[in-house]
Amino acid sequence: MTAATRFRAVAVGCSAGGLEALRQLLAPLPREFPLPVVVVAHMAPDGGSLLAELLESVCRLSVAEAEEKAKALPGHVYVAPPGYHLLVEEDETFSLSVDEKVCNVRPSIDVLFQSAADTWGCGLIGVVLTGANSDGTAGLRAIRQMGGYCLVQDPTQAFADTMPRSAIDAGLADCVLPLAALAGQLMALAPPQPRRGGR
């Protein structure tokens, strides 16, 4: 199976500075992007989340908060609701948890990445963006162990460099790119789409 055909999903994690990073990552993706994109962004648990609405306004993909038992579908972006860990089950549906915080946060990037790696195995692309703690490093390790692909934002250009540096220092980055190049890399890794009929 080649790199261009094996991937089945994308999991993204970010913290401080994450909204702008997500806008730049997701806005260029085409409406027919053939993979589901699942996002954990650290946020205040008590204020409600406008993240999905803000991303929807700049994305061609459909964006929504992940809901219990909803299936991860291609061409959609799913955002973890505030205050809940987001997990992916074996049947590619979501579950929400209020278990203990991980890295002092809930939702946790590690929790998403680890469950998504169990589900999609070598078909998962993990993306670590800007952030001010080490959440995501253990999750990338799980993705790497399952044969997935680990993509990390260049920390020298990140709003907060701790999270991407932690992943890089742990030796878990298959590719380190500036934010502006990440969407193009995702499109290059995604399975090719069949040509539509017509003249």
Cα angle: 114, vertex 167, 70; to 5 degrees: 30
SS3 content of the chain, % helix, strand, coil (to 5): 35, 20, 45
Cα 7 to Cα 96: distance, rounded to the nearest angstrom: 24
Cα 128 to Cα 167: distance, rounded to the nearest angstrom: 8
Which residue out of 15, 108, 115, 166 is catalytically annotated?
A: 15
Cα 173 to Cα 153: distance, rounded to the nearest angstrom: 9
Do residues 33 and 61 lie in contact, with contact meaning Cβ atoms separated by under 8 Å? yes
Cα 157 to Cα 102: distance, rounded to the nearest angstrom: 26
Q: Is 15 a catalytic residue?
A: yes
Span between the terminal Cα atoms of the chain, in Å? 31
Do residues 154 and 183 lie in contact, with contact meaning Cβ atoms separated by under 8 Å? no
Which residue out of 108, 110, 135, 166 is catalytically annotated?
A: 135
Token pair for 163: 């999270």
Do residues 124 and 146 lie in contact, with contact meaning Cβ atoms separated by under 8 Å? yes
Which residues does the annotation mark as catalytic? 15, 42, 135
